[in-house]
Amino acid sequence: MSIRFDDRVAIVTGAGNGLGRTHALGLAARGARVVVNDLGGARDGTGGSLSAAETVVEEIQAAGGEAIANGANVTKWDEVQAMVAAAMGKWGRVDILVNNAGILRDKTFLKMELADFQSVVEVHLMGSVNCTKAVWEIMREQNYGRIAMTTSSSGLYGNFGQANYGAAKLGLVGFMNTLHLEGAKYDIRINALSPVAGTRMTEDLMPQEVIDVMTPESVSAGLIYLVSEDGPRRTILAAGAGGYACARITETKGIWLAPDEQTPENVAAGWDTIMDAEGAEEYTMGGQQSMKFLQEASKGLGIELKR
C-alpha cells in the first residue's frame, strides 16, 4: 500500500521547525499541497518571523511540491480565518489539518505564574480549537477531512514542571473524542499524536546520542498515516525513536453498592476490586459509563431497565 495525498490540501501549524517541518515535508513529498504555518517565535512563544515557514516552503518547492507560507498566530481567530481563506483561495479546499503549534513555559506549579499557564493552554488547546473551527464547515461540506491533534505523554501520564502543558495536552484528547462523534458521518476522522522526538523542545532534556535516534522523521511517519485516506479514527498514536504504540483510556468494571451501603468505608473496602484491571473496557462515548452504572444498579435493585 502506497500512501499518497495527490490533490489534497493540508495545513500544518508550527511547521517552521522540528516535527511540524517534517510533517509538512512528508505530506508534500507524497503529493499534498501544504500551507506551512509558523509564527516564527522562540520556544516560549515570544517573538515572531515568517522566515522559518518560508524556508520550509522553499524546500518543498525545490523538491517539486506546492506550498505557501503563513505566519498566523493560532491564538488569534481572525488570523486563523485568514490563513484558511488563503488556502481556499489558492487551492479551493482543505482536506487535512495538523494541529502542531506549541510553546513551553516549564516551572513547578508553585512557582508558575498564572499568565504562563494561560499562555500554554491558549496556544496548544485554544490554538487547535481555532484552527479546527476554521476548517470544520469546509470539511463537512466536502464530506471529507482528516485532523490530527498533538497530545503528549505529559498530558496522558504527567511530567514534573509541566502542569500547564499537561493540562492543555490532555484537553486535546477530550476535544478529539467529541469531534470524532460529531464528524463521523461526514468522514471527518480525528486522531491524536503523542510524539517523542529530538527537537528544540527537547534538546535540553536528553543526551545527544539519544536525541540522534529520536528523529522527527520517525514521528512524522506515524502522523502521515493518521491523516491518510484510510487512517484510523479516535486513536492516540504514541511515536518515537521508531516505536509506535496506541495509548488508551480504559475503565475498570468496578463495584456496585446498594443505597444503604454507599459509604466511604465501603468504597475503601472495595478498593482492590475497583482498581482491578481485569475486564476493563475502552469507551467511545460518555454515555457508556452512565449505562454501565445504571445496569449494575438495576441488577442490584432488581429493576428492569426500559429499552
Q: Which of 125, 148, 113 is nearest to 75 (CA)?
A: 125
Q: Which three cell numbers stand for residue 254?
A: 468496578
Number of residues in the chain: 307
Alpha-carbon distances, residue 15 vs 72, 109, 154, 264, 265 (angstroms): 12, 29, 21, 50, 53
Question: What are the residues whose beta carbons fall under 8 Å from the beta carbon of 292, sequence distance 6 or more?
Answer: 251
- DSSP letters, 141-167, are HHT-EEEEEE--HHHHH--TTBHHHHH
User: Looking at 165, 186, 225, 283, which residue is catalytic?
Assistant: 165
Residue 165 designated active-site: yes
Grid coordinates standing for 189? 476522522
Q: Which amino acid is at 133?
A: K
Q: Which residues are catalytic?
A: 165
